[in-house]
């Protein structure tokens, strides 16, 4: 049985990775300090071994890494807005925390390291769709810290011989994504829709995002881990651009709730348009998005009704 460590495994994406790994027969260890993750996300997985600690805790990371073959590094301080408000914390977690995990992985002889990165590394886009070789000019401390995290992971791969894959997530959504005032648009819209509140769109709403369901993101992690002879950075997205105005309309339809739309000034640190080229991940380890957005939103809103209206 393959033993895997999932840092940030109680979080939104991490818990979906844990769910897939346990279904595939992995022996799973989770390292999480619950700063943004939830213990209830791990309740369905009785056989998961939990180390409740921060990724910056060297001893705890070493303990969690014992006999691990594959690392899925998802623990992070996430979000452009949060990073602007707390730039030191952002880099401390995303850069120093990642180095702690890499050092422990090196000492433990890990063979594969899958790191969660972000499309925030690109900054304002010069052309669409975005390939992995697009210039990286991040507009926020978060984008800077995730780019530094990538570079550190790939340098360890070259120096120490274990394969490292950095997955650049675009706009991930799905089950276990809770309301977040720091800018995740789908849970914010869901939270307001289900309470009969108006939806606020920053800017004119014609800005585009590449939304990808967390089920597809979890599968990308597994495929990356199972690949042989592959290292590098890869986009993980749907490859489809959706305007925020169209997203609002789809969510109203999926929830069967009509909502007033209010427009506000654009927010700092956010790009205008985004759409990924996912051909590199497709060719390198067989990644293919499978969840249509209409289906994903229906499933997410069904989960959100239970979660948001009872908490």
The catalytically annotated residue of 38, 142, 160, 173 is 142
Asked whether residue 221 carries a pLDDT value surpassing 70, the answer given is: yes
Question: What integer is the mean pLDDT of 222-226?
Answer: 98
Q: What angle do CA 129, 134, 136 make, to 5 degrees?
A: 130
Total structural domains within the chain: 1
Task: Give the model's pLDDT for residue 269.
Answer: 63
Q: What is the mean pLDDT of the chain?
A: 95
Task: Give the model's pLDDT for residue 182.
Answer: 55
Asked whether residue 98 carries a pLDDT value surpassing 80, the answer given is: yes
Both tokens of 205, joined, read 């709403």
Task: Give the model's pLDDT for residue 304.
Answer: 96
Task: Give the model's pLDDT for residue 183.
Answer: 62
Is 160 catalytic? The answer is: no
Provide the β-strand partners of residue 236: 169
Secondary structure (3-state) at 123: strand
Asked whether residue 311 carries a pLDDT value surpassing 60, the answer given is: no
In this structure, which long-range contacts are made by residues 34-40, counting pairs with CB atoms below 8 Å and at least 24 apart in sequence? Answer: 34/10, 36/11, 36/78, 37/8, 37/9, 37/10, 37/11, 37/12, 38/10, 38/11, 38/176, 38/178, 39/10
pLDDT, one tens digit per residue, over 106-148 is 999 999 999 999 999 998 889 999 999 999 999 899 999 999 9
Q: Is 139 among the domain residues?
A: yes
State the pLDDT confidence band at 81, using cuts at 50, 70 and 90: confident
Residues ≥6 apart with Cβ < 8 Å to 228? none
> d(Cα 1, Cα 68) in Å, to the nearest integer?
11
Asked whether residue 273 carries a pLDDT value surpassing 80, the answer given is: yes
Q: Is 134 among the domain residues?
A: yes
Q: Is 298 among the domain residues?
A: no
Domain that holds residue 231: 3-173+211-239+275-290
Number of residues in the chain: 311
Task: Give the model's pLDDT for residue 184.
Answer: 86
Q: Is 150 among the domain residues?
A: yes
CB burial of residue 261 (10 Å; 0-12, 13-18, 19+): middle
Question: What integer is the mean pLDDT of 24-47?
Answer: 97
> d(Cα 259, Cα 127) in Å, to the nearest integer?
34
State the pLDDT confidence band at 79, using cuts at 50, 70 and 90: confident
Q: Is 32 among the domain residues?
A: yes
pLDDT, one tens digit per residue, over 153-211 is 999 999 998 999 999 999 999 999 998 755 689 999 999 999 999 999 999 999 999 99
Any idea what the CATH number is for the domain that residue 17 is in?
A: 3.40.50.720
Task: Give the model's pLDDT for residue 196.
Answer: 95
Task: Give the model's pLDDT for residue 114.
Answer: 98
User: pTM for this structure?
Assistant: 0.96
């Amino acid at each position: 049985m393959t033993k895997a460590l999932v840092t940030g495994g109680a979080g939104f994406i991490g818990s979906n990775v844990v769910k897939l790994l346990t279904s595939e027969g992995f022996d799973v260890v989770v390292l999480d300090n619950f700063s943004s993750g939830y213990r209830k996300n791990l309740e369905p997985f009785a056989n998961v071994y939990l180390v409740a600690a921060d990724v910056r805790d060297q001893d705890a990371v070493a303990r969690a890494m014992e006999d691990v073959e594959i690392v899925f590094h998802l623990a992070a301080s996430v979000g452009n807005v949060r990073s602007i408000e707390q730039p030191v914390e952002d880099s401390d977690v995303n850069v120093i925390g990642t180095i702690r995990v890499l050092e422990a992985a090196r000492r433990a002889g890990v063979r594969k390291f899958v790191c969660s990165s972000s499309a925030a590394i690109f900054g304002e886009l010069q052309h669409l769709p975005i390939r992995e070789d697009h210039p990286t000019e991040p507009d926020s401390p978060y984008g800077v810290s995730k780019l530094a995290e990538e570079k550190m992971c790939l340098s360890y791969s070259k120096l120490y011989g274990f394969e490292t894959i950095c997955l650049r997530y675009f706009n991930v959504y799905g089950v276990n994504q809770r309301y977040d005032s720091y800018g995740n648009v789908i849970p914010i819209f869901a939270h307001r829709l289900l309470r009969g509140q108006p939806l606020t769109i920053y800017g004119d709403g014609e800005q585009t995002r590449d939304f990808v369901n967390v089920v597809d993101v979890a599968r990308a992690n597994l495929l990356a881990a199972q690949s042989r002879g592959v290292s590098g950075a890869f986009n993980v997205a749907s490859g489809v651009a959706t305007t925020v105005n169209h997203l609002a309309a789809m969510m109203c339809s999926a929830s069967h709730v009509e909502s007033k739309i209010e427009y506000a000034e654009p927010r700092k640190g956010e790009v205008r348009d985004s759409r990924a080229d996912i051909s590199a991940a497709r060719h390198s380890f067989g990644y293919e998005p499978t969840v249509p957005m209409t289906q994903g939103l229906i499933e997410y809103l069904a989960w959100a009704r239970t979660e948001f209206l009872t908490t």
